[in-house]
Amino acid sequence: MSRLSLLTLLGALATGCGAAHSHVALEDRTLTDAPPPAPPASSARPATEQPPASPHDARAFLARYPTPAACEGAARKLQATSRDDAWLALKLCVEAPGFTQLGAVLGSAWTEDVRVRPDAAPLIARVVAQRGGSVDGELRLLHSRKVPIFSLASAIAQPDTYRGRYVLLRAQVADQRSEGERPTLWLVEQGLQAVGSRREVGIAYHTDSVSETSGDLGGRTALTGEGRVGGSIFTRESTTQSASERTYDNSSEETGREALGRLAAPDPFLETRRDYVILARFDGLRVTSGMTTDDEDEGPKIPVLTIVSYHLPQALAVY
């Protein structure tokens, strides 16, 4: 796909795509249509157990539960009195640095909330980013819990099936245009891979040694007669001892898939040439070359996304 044709399409989408290309209506719905479950009847709490703090005072709540696991546990206990307060508390936990408990968020306690609340998908995307942004592996976990967030590859392969649904990808912004009210980004999908190397650990020891060998030879020659020849040989040895361990660093590489992402308004914090974990709605495929033919089935196509949220991935991946 040529950069010129992509830039042409970026400009066309930024100014509204033109009359020849109708927009695909976005399906504005939560992950499912079921309402949140009714809170269970409150049970008697032991006298020695303190009630969970209120999430409406974010600073006090996070100060009382400083670790991610304790924070999520306190949020879960609030479900007995108010599922809305419990969800608010969970959002506070997720927005704090270091929250990587994706398994807890996808656990049975939060199943209905994850399925029905409109801000559940952005919350999950943030947790995935804080776990390092290994999107392919995280999607397998989401699908095992029947969470309807899908890959860009699946959407490209079956555009009619996935139109209007959430897709999650790790991508860089290669270019962006803001000629209209809706900026359009050229996204290049990235895959996360582990690259191995060896690193020295501990103290390295260096040793120099010198040895000398001397001696002489005696005998008679026709030219010199009786005589002796003597000398010595010096030998230098140098050794270095150190210990090393195998380490792995995360490296992102292009997958070969690209997409156009549309924003509601310009965003100065979405920088080019940086990896982001992006949650978006899949709008379908659009032709990239020509842009003048009446037959939209001809020419290469590129997926078009409406960006819902984006998050910087952490440097270390959690498995």
Residue spans per domain, the chain:
199-247
Give the three-state DSSP class for 198. strand
pLDDT score recorded for residue 18: 42
Q: How far, rounded to the nearest angstrom, does the alpha carbon of residue 45 sit from its chain's CA centroid? A: 40
CA atoms within 13 A on the CB side of 37: 15
CA neighbor of 171 nearest in space, from 251, 268, 273: 273
CA atoms within 13 A on the CB side of 287: 14
What is the C-alpha separation between 77 and 109, in angstroms, rounded? 10
H-helix segments, the chain? 3-14, 58-64, 68-77, 83-95, 102-105, 111-116, 120-130, 135-144, 152-157, 159-162
pLDDT score recorded for residue 25: 39
The number of residues in the chain equals 319
- Sign (positive/negative) of CA torsion 145, 146, 148, 149? positive
**Which amino acid is located at 219 in the chain?**
G
What is the C-alpha separation between 94 and 77, in angstroms, rounded? 16
> Which DSSP string corresponds to 92-126?
HHHHSTT---HHHHTSGGGHHHHHH-TTHHHHHHH
pLDDT tens-digit profile, the chain (319 residues): 555 555 566 665 655 544 333 333 334 445 655 555 555 554 455 545 667 788 999 999 999 999 999 999 999 999 999 999 999 999 999 999 899 999 999 999 999 999 899 999 999 999 999 999 999 999 999 999 999 999 999 999 999 999 999 999 999 999 988 766 789 999 999 998 655 556 677 677 767 777 766 666 566 656 656 666 566 676 777 777 777 676 555 677 999 999 999 999 888 899 988 999 999 999 999 987 655 455 555 678 999 999 999 999 998 777 6
pLDDT score recorded for residue 179: 66
> pTM here?
0.70
What is the C-alpha separation between 249 and 279, in angstroms, rounded? 25
pLDDT score recorded for residue 289: 63
pLDDT score recorded for residue 2: 56
Torsion of CA 263, 264, 266, 269, to 10 degrees: -60
pLDDT score recorded for residue 235: 73
